[in-house]
Structure 1
Amino acid sequence: MCVYIITKHFYSIHDQIKEIFHLYLGFVMMRSLINTLVLIVFVVILSPILSHAESPAIFILGDSLFDVGTNTHILKSLAKANFPWYGVDFFNSTPNGRFSNGQNMADFTAKIAFGESVTSPPPFRSVYGDGVKSNEMLLEALDINSTRHWEGPIKNFSLASLKGKENPGKGINFASSGCGILDATSAIDQANSMTQQLTQVKFVFGNLSSQLGAHKALSLFEKSTFFICIGNNDVNFFALFRYKLDPDPYIDKLIQSYNKTLKSLYNLGARKFGIFGVPYVGCSPLLRVTIKAGNCSKTANDLAQQFNIKLERLLVQMKEDSEEMHYSYANSYNILYDIYTKPKTYNITYVNTACCGLGRFNAMSNCNPLAKLCKDRTAYLFWDVSHPSQYVAKIMVEKFAFGEPRYVGPITWSELVNL
């Protein structure tokens, strides 16, 4: 309309002058268009920052490698770590449900997204354990109003945060010691099974939807990263009790169940998955002590490798079939194998014996107040019969966060949380 009025006003001007004017007008309009486009791009780039998208929540599912106290709240659970010497190197030397002398893999995973001073998000059971003020506690755990200061993603790890105090990152931790891919595995230690953990995730989603609205809840899940660590107990169970059976049908059953887990989370809105493969578990004190010669369990290590190969194929296929799905696969088998076979490279002295325990390989009992406790925890690969020391947990997650393709792919965990 403006163009029509201006050109009408100059209709009687000489054609040459009019042509010059039209050229000028075209330039002004083009410049205006460019400025508009620049403004749009600026808003698009800035909008995630304005919406605090640089600090997404993280949700953790799995077993004892990522458990930060879930089983403490499960009365019937047989696998608990809420007594000394667990937590001897944690804040105030406090036993806290982690199967570690200090922080565990869940804690170092949280640091990837929220900075060095952060520990794992709180366990679901601690938020909804008694049902008192549960809704408020959920919003606090997720820090919906962004009241806390977040350092942001880190480039490397240190243990400087041990001088401070526990500072749970945004999200919820559902991991339960003894959990397996199969519910039958979880039943051995009365752990929260993967089926139960998925039910808890759905409960959180439903609760958020009712408080924030379905759209905001879905948006939160889409931007958040879901870390999953399961399969270790299924492999251990097979190596200890079912090693004479054909492993192929068992592995296929595990993969089918894992596929259902991933699809359930995807259907809830999850789009970013940090997947922890089964480690080099056959050389843990737990399995070595069951073999007369004290060797590593070849059955367990072979099964872990076969499972991991099929798990990676599953992830590749799911990414092809699922819109906007992203994943980062952590090859825990390779890093634990490298530490075990080349301990001096990592300044580790003891790879066969647990730091805390009794008897052969310190694996004739779990860590407890009566067990022998090593003085230098950083010299040990294993803290107890099957869990890495805090020092090794840091090394492992650091490789997943920033390491080379031998340890993580197709992208790193740090790249995943920043998508």
Structure 2
Amino acid sequence: MAITFSNEAPFNFITSLFFCVLVFGSCRVWCASVPGIYIFGDSLVDVGNNNYLTLSLAKADFPHNGVDFPTGKATGRFSNGKNAVDFLADKVGLPSPPPYLSLVSHAKKLSSTNVTLTGVNFASGGAGIFNGTDELFKQSIPLTKQVSYYSLVHDQLVQDLGSVGAQAHLSKSLFTIVIGSNDLFGYFNKDSKVSKQYTPQQYVDLMVSTLKGLMKRMYEMGARKFVISGVGVIGCCPAQRKQNTTSDCKVEANYWSTKYNEGLKALLKELKSESSDIHYSYFDTYDVMNGLIQHPETYGITEIKEACCGLGNLKADIPCIPISTYCSNRKNHLFWDLYHPTESTSHIFAGFIWSGSQQYSTPMNVEQLVKV
């Protein structure tokens, strides 16, 4: 739903309350606290942007993706159903933000009639912190470009709400970033060029410093509340396991995932010390995912190695495409395809993101963040 206000109209509690009643029929507790969610990232949180990229090889707008989505159809999500940000949006009482490219595909540019006040999803399958990750998938929207797209949304909000109203809206909104896996996959790819230019430590340091610059740009454009996800146990996805004859995890990829996450946590502390009005929740994806792998029975999971949808070794030789087969019970699988979690796994992640202890969400979880 799109909505506009005059430049003079202050976006205050009453305006927010009215908007929530208009959208939902009744106002939930979080209406005034979280007016919008802005999503940046890769295929883990893409809700259909890549549908609009004609050259992209990273697409999910075909069966069997979406088999458990409410419509029963593929949406562009790399999942059998919803992904983690869909569940997060549910938690805060907002609709899942639409893909940015869906807002401009026909209109060609943003305007008061197509900007959505409840948030926008800029995430793109194959995207990375660096621009080069799109070489693996021919076409994606790297984080740099996602932030540039956000700048256009920001400018439209300022035009519609006025600078004071836009800042009030954005300062209470959540800015969710889920990215970094593709950068690491790219480094450890056997044909990697960057591995010849940088040591692994130099590379993850550059990932962190590049992300910091982009987050500072977001801060300059109103972002104050960040939900940041660390990189998961990427060496244990089916695509990585199948490279070992034993189907064991790729130790090197996992090790550098942890090193990147350490740098990411240090970066967030730096940003907070530089700008005290920044608040954030860091989600330790690695720790939670490792827990699922080590104790799957706790979560009703029985298959942690093989993908649900695909073909070949660990169903990871061929991705989830129409000729692939898929498992009858998606809830007992950790992975939907060769890289991505099932809907039920994403639901578990969202639960930890929302109300997890400090072991998994630091220095606070998102339930606490929305109250700040």
Q: Normalization by structure 2: what TM-score?
A: 0.88
| Cα distance in 1 for residues equivalent to 2:113 and 2:359 | 40
Question: Who is 2:80 aligned against?
Answer: 101
Q: How does 1:97-176 map to 2 (within 5 A)?
A: 97-114=76-93, 119-131=95-107, 134-139=110-115, 141-142=116-117, 170-176=118-124
Max radius of gyration: which structure? 1
Q: How does 1:253-264 map to 2 (within 5 A)?
A: 253-264=206-217
Task: Check if 1:54 corresponds to 2:3.
Answer: no
% identical aligned pairs: 37
Q: 1:84 aligns with which of 46, 51, 63?
A: 63
| Cα distance in 2 for residues equivalent to 1:218 and 1:411 | 23
Q: Report if the CA contact (8 A) 2:179-2:229 is conserved.
A: yes
Q: 1:223 aligns with which of 166, 172, 175?
A: 172
User: Mean Cα displacement is larger for which, 260-269 or 240-249?
Assistant: 240-249
Q: What is the deviation of 1:218? A: 2.0
| Cα distance in 2 for residues equivalent to 1:101 and 1:283 | 20
Change over 3 Å in CA distance of 1:342–1:76 after alignment to 2: same
Task: Check if 1:198 corresponds to 2:177.
Answer: no
Structure 2: state its 5+ residue gaps: 1-11, 18-31
Question: Could you report, residue by residue, the CA deviation over 1:192-242 in whole angstroms, capped at 9, with x for unpaired residues?
Answer: 011110110000011122222222122221121100001011111222234
| Cα distance in 1 for residues equivalent to 2:252 and 2:14 | 49
Task: Check if 1:400 corresponds to 2:353.
Answer: yes
| Cα distance in 2 for residues equivalent to 1:202 and 1:54 | 22
Q: 2:189 aligns with which of 231, 240, 246?
A: 240
Q: Which amino acid aligns with 2:180?
A: G
Q: What is the deviation of 1:51? A: 4.3
Q: Normalization by structure 1: what TM-score?
A: 0.79
Q: What is the deviation of 1:291? A: 2.5
| Cα distance in 2 for residues equivalent to 1:137 and 1:288 | 47
Q: 1:350 aligns with which of 292, 295, 303?
A: 303
Q: Which amino acid aligns with 1:396?
A: F
Question: Could you report, residue by residue, the CA deviation over 1:12-67 in whole angstroms, capped at 9, with x for unpaired residues?
Answer: xxxxxxxxxxxxxxxxxxxxxxxxxxxxxxxxxxx746643234201000000100
Change over 3 Å in CA distance of 1:357–1:199 after alignment to 2: same
Q: Secondary structure, in 3 states, of the residue corresponding to 2:281?
A: strand
Q: Which amino acid aligns with 2:87?
A: F
Question: Who is 1:177 aligned against?
Answer: 125
Change over 3 Å in CA distance of 1:344–1:305 after alignment to 2: same
Larger fraction in helix: 1
Question: Who is 1:304 aligned against?
Answer: 257
Q: Secondary structure, in 3 states, of the residue corresponding to 2:227?
A: strand
User: Mean Cα displacement is larger for which, 392-401 or 187-196?
Assistant: 187-196
Q: What is the deviation of 1:269? A: 1.3
Q: What is the deviation of 1:103? A: 0.4
| Cα distance in 2 for residues equivalent to 1:345 and 1:351 | 13
Q: Report if the CA contact (8 A) 2:48-2:75 is conserved.
A: yes
Change over 3 Å in CA distance of 1:136–1:51 after alignment to 2: closer
Structure 1: state its 5+ residue gaps: 1-46, 143-169
Q: Report if the CA contact (8 A) 2:33-2:172 is conserved.
A: no
Change over 3 Å in CA distance of 1:111–1:255 after alignment to 2: same
Give the aligned CA root-mean-square deviation in angstroms.
Answer: 1.7
| Cα distance in 1 for residues equivalent to 2:304 and 2:132 | 31
| Cα distance in 2 for residues equivalent to 1:134 and 1:270 | 20
Change over 3 Å in CA distance of 1:137–1:341 after alignment to 2: farther
| Cα distance in 2 for residues equivalent to 1:205 and 1:51 | 18
Q: 1:273 aligns with which of 222, 226, 235?
A: 226
Change over 3 Å in CA distance of 1:119–1:290 after alignment to 2: farther
Question: Could you report, residue by residue, the CA deviation over 1:288-326 in whole angstroms, capped at 9, with x for unpaired residues?
Answer: 112233221111100100000110011011101113000
Q: Report if the CA contact (8 A) 1:238-1:300 is conserved.
A: no
Q: Secondary structure, in 3 states, of the residue corresponding to 1:392?
A: helix
Q: Secondary structure, in 3 states, of the residue corresponding to 1:340?
A: helix
| Cα distance in 1 for residues equivalent to 2:231 and 2:164 | 35
Q: 1:321 aligns with which of 253, 268, 274?
A: 274
Question: Who is 2:319 aligned against?
Answer: 366
| Cα distance in 1 for residues equivalent to 2:113 and 2:122 | 15
Question: Who is 1:6 aligned against?
Answer: none
Q: Which amino acid aligns with 2:246?
A: A
Q: Which amino acid aligns with 2:123?
A: A
Q: Report if the CA contact (8 A) 1:106-1:119 is conserved.
A: no
Q: Secondary structure, in 3 states, of the residue corresponding to 1:60?
A: strand
Change over 3 Å in CA distance of 1:368–1:210 after alignment to 2: same
| Cα distance in 2 for residues equivalent to 1:88 and 1:48 | 39
Q: Report how many aligned residue pairs link the two structures.
A: 342
| Cα distance in 1 for residues equivalent to 2:371 and 2:90 | 13
